Amino acid sequence: MRGRPHLYVSYESEQSLLPTWTQRVIVVLFLFLMVLIPLNGGIEIGERVFQPLGFLSDNSWLKILSRVAIFGIGALGLNILTGLAGQVSLGHAFFMGIGAYTAAVLGGEVGKAHWGLGLPIWIWLPAAGLVAALVGMLVAPTAVRVRGLYLAIVTLGLVFIGEYLFRNLVSITGGSQSGRKFPELEFRWWQSEEPALAFNSDGPIWAPFNWLDWLLGPWINFPADVSEEAKTYLILLVLLVVFVVLAKNLQRTRIGRAFMALRDRDIAAEVMGVPDAKTKFEAFAISSFYAGVAGALLVAFIGRTIPEQFNLLLSVQFVAIILIGGAGTVAGTLMGSVFVFVFPRLVQDFSVWLTETVEAGGVLSSVADFFVSTSLDDPGLVSTLEGVSPGLNVSQLNLVIYGLLIVGFLIFEPLGLYGIWLRIRNYWKGWPFTY
């Protein structure tokens, strides 16, 4: 209702995905900007061309954004299990590995040293999620008998079991020394045909985005050719949007409300008719499906990796995403995914800037020298030197920051970045009044 955006006159309007026009406009504009990033499109204003977020069109940034999309899909699955259903899990990396090697077997090259059937992406990608969901259902009967810390230990054991299996099933995984080649991101109708859509090579923009040039050509400058990284980012963005819509819709269904009831008070939920074992079964299956798809996309994006990729650190990374972003919320999960992958790049760039500041001298050089190590005999908090050096390297510093952020958010803001956004939004809604 105009002028009363939070006055709902029906249950359907309250439960809609985007109940207000403000949210709809913001989401449409945001997606439009996300599509423009890899196309390096510029909006013509008079004789000047304005490029919103133009620096992100660099291939190195596009690879980071592609990882954000992949891990966003996986984090949505863990958010369904932990954030909605309240089931603590440290075994997300195991289900990602299951999905990855399912994709390897179904989509890998035929007649090589490793198993491969050469099937197209529209078979191996959903199959990766379904096989992971099946394994999740097989694990669920054991997991539903425990809760809390005991459930975390059970799922933690899956990671170690997965590491052992992935290292020793050499015909499938390629072993821990060299790994194996994974199917590429390309759309083919069947095994022997040329790809209808190739996302792994430079070239002109392909059909799904041609309408942008036709519709916005008079105002937007589109390049004739786009890079491999741009094509990969665009298809992963489309998949992320699909899985976000599915996850958001799940919260509104009977299954999603059962998950939240079980999370908030499991005994009361059972009294109200929510079947405990069946609901946990469904939560594990759906979460594992998301993890399997994310694992398949990850290895297809990387191209070649070793089994040790799917270790405990990968599971902890997903836990960090939902805790930093905000457990139980789709928007918070996406915020956490962006933060966890963009923040290390910002830390790296800031460390390089500090090193350059010290070398250049000036007013800030003494301050920068306190934080950065520029030589083997120069102590500092962080070092950009190669090899062993005083201070922490960028990777070690990021791990320390992750730990501090997880502890800080759990103590001061359990809803994570999404909780901070709510505070800011509510403040400006009530401004200038404080009540």
The pLDDT assigned to 1 comes to 46
Taking the C-alpha atoms of residue 321 and residue 337, their distance in angstroms, rounded to an integer, is: 6
- For residue 179, is it left (φ>0), alpha (ψ between -120 and 50) or beta? left
Residue segments in the chain with a per-residue pLDDT below the cut of 70: 1-7, 40-55, 191-192, 196, 200-225, 362, 376-378, 385-389, 391, 434-435
Annotate 195-215 with b (16+ C-beta within 10 A) or e (fewer).
beebbeeeeebbeebeebbee
The predicted-structure confidence for 99-142, as pLDDT tens digits, reads as follows 999 999 998 888 777 888 888 899 999 999 999 999 999 888 88
The pLDDT assigned to 218 comes to 53
The pLDDT assigned to 79 comes to 94
Burial classification of residue 193, based on how many CB atoms lie within 10 Å of its CB (0-12 exposed, 13-18 middle, 19 or more buried):
exposed
Pairing outcome for strands 304-305 and 382-383? unpaired
